Amino acid sequence: MKKIISYNVNGIRAAINKGFAEWLQKENPDVVCIQETKAQPEQIDKELFKSIGYNCYCYSAQKKGYSGVAILSRQEPDKVEYGINNEKYDNEGRAIRVDFGEISIFSAYFPAGTTGGVRQEYKMEWLLAFQNHLNKLRKKRPNLIISGDYNICRLWIDIHNPEKQQKTSGFLPEEREWFQNFVDDGYVDSFRKFNEEPHNYSWWSYRAGSRVRNKGWRIDYNMVTNEISDKIKNAYILPDVKHSDHCPVVVEMDF
């Protein structure tokens, strides 16, 4: 298990219609962490993934056509854990974990908070609940990879026009403060281990030709616990892959 991809597909059925399975076959990762499936388990074509060599595990929101996460893996995991054992957040299908030996991989879809008010509060509460869940888990299983759409730009270089975005959900000072605290807790931003350049994004608005002009946000991450950070061999973004308003982000591990 070496190549892990995180990808917010913005609707798994729509992505499949745009050639997601064909791309996956060509890219050939060991594990794919998917966010925003927008589908119930029975609406996800597991047979299609099986036909190209992937086991498919999914965790959907109770609300139809909303949120949802999945993991595709070549190898069958030893264990699959659905949710974070917290009904308030698990109703929205935001986290799934697979264990392979001593390694655990999450696919996580962090709340957006873009509507402000109640949803922004929910987002801030989720951040703490999820971090606490991870820190508790780390006592037993320290070797974690937390892949997903974090819905936060961590650094000033992770967003176009940062000066004007500081009152926008996803780049609020308190969100970036949480992210710094998360890193200080012992999580490595795999991409920034290899690339410190600006203008590397993983999401672009559909409006005003944002993607063509590369006016984007880097909100998708493969975060790795310190315990296995020496195993990170490479990390990169695939901005030319277009099944979604996001693109895939990759980490290669030496396991």
Domain that holds residue 90: 3-253
> Cβ(91)–Cβ(62) under 8 Å?
yes
pLDDT at residue 46 above 80? yes
Q: Average pLDDT of 179-191?
A: 98
pLDDT at residue 16 above 80? yes
Using one digit for the tens of pLDDT, what is the confidence trace for 158-167?
999 999 999 9
What are the residues facing 34 on neighbouring strands? 7, 70
CATH code of the domain covering residue 204: 3.60.10.10
Instruction: Give the pLDDT score at 1.
Output: 65
Q: Quick one: pLDDT band at residue 110, thresholds 50, 70, 90?
A: very high
Using one digit for the tens of pLDDT, what is the confidence trace for 127-153?
999 999 999 999 999 999 999 999 999
pLDDT at residue 254 above 90? yes
Number of Cβ within 10 Å of residue 125's Cβ equals 14
For the residues of 200-229, what is the DSSP string, one character each?
A: --SEE-SGGGTTTTT-EE--EEEEEEGGGG
Give, for 87, the enclosing helix (H) or strand (E): helix 87-90
- The residues carrying an active-site annotation are 149
pTM over 0.85: yes
pLDDT at residue 157 above 90? yes
Count of domains for the chain:
1
pLDDT at residue 90 above 70? yes
How far is CA 1 from its chain centroid? 18
Q: Quick one: pLDDT band at residue 173, thresholds 50, 70, 90?
A: very high
> Cβ(78)–Cβ(100) under 8 Å?
yes
Q: d(Cα 201, Cα 195) in Å, to the nearest integer?
A: 12
Average pLDDT score, the chain? 97
Q: Which residue has the tokens 């696919």?
A: 107
Closest CA to 52 of 81, 79, 77, 74: 74
Instruction: Give the pLDDT score at 137.
Output: 98
126 SS3 class: helix
Closest CA to 248 of 176, 110, 149: 149
Q: Quick one: pLDDT band at residue 193, thresholds 50, 70, 90?
A: very high
> Cβ(30)–Cβ(3) under 8 Å?
yes
Using one digit for the tens of pLDDT, what is the confidence trace for 215-246?
999 999 999 999 999 999 999 999 999 999 99
pLDDT at residue 116 above 90? no
In the chain, the percentage of residues whose pLDDT exceeds 70 is 100
- The torsion region of residue 241 among left (phi > 0), alpha (psi -120 to 50) and beta comes to beta
As to burial, measured by CB atoms within 10 angstroms (0-12 exposed, 13-18 middle, 19+ buried), residue 23 is middle
> Cβ(113)–Cβ(119) under 8 Å?
yes
Tokens describing residue 117: 């008010």
